[in-house]
């Protein structure tokens, strides 16, 4: 009987070696290629980025909001690499020209048909264990937003059109139409 074929473990170097324009994420040494985002995805991403950016700016906030593509190195290893749709980082010492080293405070992922399992399962677990404080899964197909407040061990669901309170900012809410 032949020995089981060992699966190749990819590293961040493999991600950086991808051809220009090709995007992927790396989870425990396995590459997950990313589809080009749809118009709806980009519209929601741009809207959320603008609303969050304006809130931070108008309230003299010290956090940064950054839209994909932007590297997030959740762990101090070379086999995990994420590109959340939106990252809010309040500890600016985590930021350098390569990306965010450590967990952002708040991550938003916008679900596409090809990312559903990754966003709802794989990333949920990784973000929670890495120390992300708040994780939103925006699902345009279901017109639903699932909000995980990991510090409070709380999960809430909202529909598009609802005022969605932001856990890391008291008194701030966002309505996705």
Q: For residue 28, which of 111, 130, 105 has the smallest C-alpha distance?
A: 130
d(C-alpha 7, C-alpha 104), whole Å: 30
Instruction: Supply the pLDDT for residue 48.
Output: 98
Q: Coil, strand, or helix at residue 159?
A: strand
Instruction: Supply the pLDDT for residue 6.
Output: 72
The tokens describing 27, both together, are 């989870």
83 touches 68 (CB < 8 A): yes
State the pTM of this model: 0.94
Q: What is the pLDDT along the chain (177 residues), one digit of tens a residue?
A: 555 667 789 999 999 999 988 999 999 999 999 988 999 999 999 999 999 999 999 999 899 999 999 999 999 899 999 999 999 999 999 999 999 999 999 999 999 988 899 899 999 999 999 999 999 999 999 999 999 999 999 999 999 999 999 999 999 999 998
127 touches 134 (CB < 8 A): no
Residue with tokens 């407040």: 149
Residues 6+ apart with CB under 8 A from 79: 9, 10, 11, 12, 26, 28, 29
Residue 160, exposed/middle/buried by CB under 10 A (0-12, 13-18, 19+)? Answer: middle
Instruction: Supply the pLDDT for residue 4.
Output: 66
Instruction: Supply the pLDDT for residue 3.
Output: 59
């Amino acid at each position: 009987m032949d020995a089981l074929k060992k699966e190749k473990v990819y590293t961040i170097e493999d991600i950086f070696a991808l051809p220009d324009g090709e995007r992927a994420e790396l989870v425990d040494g396995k590459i997950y290629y990313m589809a080009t985002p749809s118009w709806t995805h980009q519209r929601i991403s741009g809207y959320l980025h603008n609303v969050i950016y304006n809130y931070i700016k108008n309230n003299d906030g010290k956090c940064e909001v950054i839209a994909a593509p932007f590297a997030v190195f959740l762990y101090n290893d070379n086999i995990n690499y994420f590109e959340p749709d939106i990252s809010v980082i309040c500890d600016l010492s985590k930021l350098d020209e390569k990306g965010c080293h450590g967990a952002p405070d708040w991550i938003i992922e916008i679900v596409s048909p090809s990312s559903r399992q990754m966003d709802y399962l794989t990333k949920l677990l990784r973000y929670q264990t890495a120390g992300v404080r708040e994780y939103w899964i925006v699902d345009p197909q279901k017109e639903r937003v699932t909000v995980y407040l990991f510090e409070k061990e709380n999960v809430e669901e909202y529909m598009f059109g609802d005022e969605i309170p932001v856990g890391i900012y008291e008194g701030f809410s966002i309505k996705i139409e």
